């Protein structure tokens, strides 16, 4: 006991742990027998308990359980495992049959696969499907994750497109106020594999104020200063910026610019072709009508931009008549557009 007390006082920084449960139990049993646990006093028992905790790495509660077992049974030995095992319902043959069905039909959804397994038994009298006919959808997915299933059936998933969380996918709610822009790009053709100039068309939905600009390429570095120049040419505060899902506008550079100016960015929804219809109609009625469809080299973007700022945009906003549609709903609930002014 004196040696154990000296060891505990000198070995505060020492940490031990048993390798296997059988070794730990055998060592504890031998120690309790050698020190004659049943004849020790309270102080000696506490010292020996601390010594066993230090040497085995077990908790105080675990050491107490081992000592209790020694006092009741006269020895310390590992008992049988009491882990609960659920009965196996689906065999290896069932997993192989599920993989065979998936190979034949393709990897369908869980409910579709469940219906196929039921029909194999009840409609086509396939006795091999006796157990699989009662399988749940969740269990189908669990069996597909098993190692046996993956060895029998390989699933190739194509690379998914990156979902860019920039802009809100909805139509802008303007509520009759100016400052909600619809923006789109118009490409002036290719020649011998060389890209032509790009037009950036921005239209306010309420006042129909329109700004057209030109740029040699639609990279993020080229578009950022051009968009700032476009926004400065509107005579009112810009509140919204709506475009299609093209990468020229749905990128972090444009998002940072609009966020700095407190402009809400929205983008077109799928199966709503009219979300950006206003500016797309202006592409044909304004840019194509005045500039045409012919190829214009990208090197002329600077001269074209100067023409837009000095002549074309003032002409569009002060001299070219533009009808503004009013939204009218008749008695049957049908929506129509009326050009009153």
The candidate with the shortest Cα–Cα distance to 63, out of 35, 25, 30, is: 25
Q: How many whole angstroms separate alpha carbon 339 and alpha carbon 341?
A: 6
For range 126-141, the mean pLDDT: 92
Q: Topology of domain 168-338, per CATH?
A: Nucleotidyltransferase; domain 5 (3.30.420)
Taking all residues of the chain, what is their mean pLDDT, rounded to a whole number?
87
CB 90 within 8 A of CB 143: yes
Cα separation of 189 and 197, whole Å?
Answer: 8
Alpha carbons 209 and 203: distance in angstroms, whole number: 6
Q: Are 7 and 51 a contacting pair, CB within 8 Å?
A: yes
What is the pLDDT, as a whole number, of residue 81? 64
Q: Which of 120-129, 155-164, 191-200 has the lowest mean pLDDT?
A: 155-164
Residue 269 pLDDT class (50, 70, 90 cuts)? confident
- Could you tell me which of 202, 208, 204 has the C-alpha nearest to residue 186? 202
Give how far the C-alpha of residue 147 lies from the chain's centroid of Cα atoms, to the nearest Å.
Answer: 26
Tell me, rounded to whole angstroms, the distance of Cα 238 from its chain centroid.
31
Distance of CA 42 to the CA centre of its chain: 61
| 338 phi and psi angles, rounded to 5 deg | -120, 130
Per-residue model confidence (pLDDT) at position 320: 86
Instruction: State the pTM of this model.
Output: 0.53
The SS3 call for residue 88 is coil
Condensed to tens digits (0 to 9), the pLDDT of residues 163-185 reads 667 878 888 887 888 999 999 99
Task: Write out the residue limits of the CATH 3.30.420.10 domain(s) in the chain.
Answer: 168-338
Specify the 3-state DSSP secondary structure of 37: helix
Task: Please count the other Cβ atoms lying within 10 Å of the Cβ belonging to residue 198.
Answer: 22
Cβ count within 10 A of residue 38: 11
DSSP H or E stretch at residue 93: helix 92-105
Percent of the chain scored above 70 by pLDDT? 97
**Of the segments 187-191, 197-201, 268-272, which one has the largest average pLDDT value?**
197-201
């Amino acid at each position: 006991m004196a040696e154990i007390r000296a060891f505990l006082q000198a070995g505060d920084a020492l940490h031990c742990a048993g390798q296997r449960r059988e070794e730990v139990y055998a060592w504890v049993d031998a120690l309790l027998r050698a020190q004659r646990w049943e004849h020790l006093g309270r102080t000696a028992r506490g010292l020996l308990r601390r010594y066993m905790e230090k040497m085995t790495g077990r908790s105080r509660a675990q050491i107490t359980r081992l000592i209790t077992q020694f006092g009741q049974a006269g020895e310390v030995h590992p008992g049988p495992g009491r882990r609960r095992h659920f009965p196996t319902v689906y065999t290896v043959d069932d997993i192989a049959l599920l993989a065979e069905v998936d190979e034949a039909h393709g990897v369908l959804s869980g409910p579709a696969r469940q219906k196929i397994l039921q029909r194999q038994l009840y409609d086509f009298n396939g006795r091999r499907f006796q157990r699989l006919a009662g399988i749940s959808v969740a269990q189908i997915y669990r069996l597909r994750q098993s190692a046996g299933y993956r060895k029998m059936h390989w699933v190739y998933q194509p690379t998914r497109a990156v979902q860019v969380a920039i802009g809100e996918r909805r139509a802008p709610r303007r509520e009759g106020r100016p400052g909600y822009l619809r923006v789109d790009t118009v490409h002036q053709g290719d020649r011998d594999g060389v890209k032509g100039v790009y037009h950036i068309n921005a239209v306010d939905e309420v006042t129909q104020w329109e700004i057209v600009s030109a740029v040699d390429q639609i990279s993020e570095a080229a578009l950022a200063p051009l968009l700032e120049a476009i926004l400065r040419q509107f005579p009112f505060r810009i509140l919204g910026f709506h475009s299609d899902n093209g990468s020229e506008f749905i990128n972090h550079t444009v998002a940072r610019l609009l966020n700095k100016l407190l402009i809400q960015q929205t983008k077109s929804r799928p199966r709503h072709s009219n979300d950006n219809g206003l500016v797309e109609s202006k592409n044909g009625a304004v840019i194509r009508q005045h500039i045409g469809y012919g190829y214009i080299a990208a090197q002329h973007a600077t001269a074209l931009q100067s023409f837009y700022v000095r002549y074309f945009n003032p002409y569009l906003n002060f001299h070219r008549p533009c009808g503004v549609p009013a939204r009218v709903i008749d008695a049957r609930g049908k929506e129509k557009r009326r050009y009153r002014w």
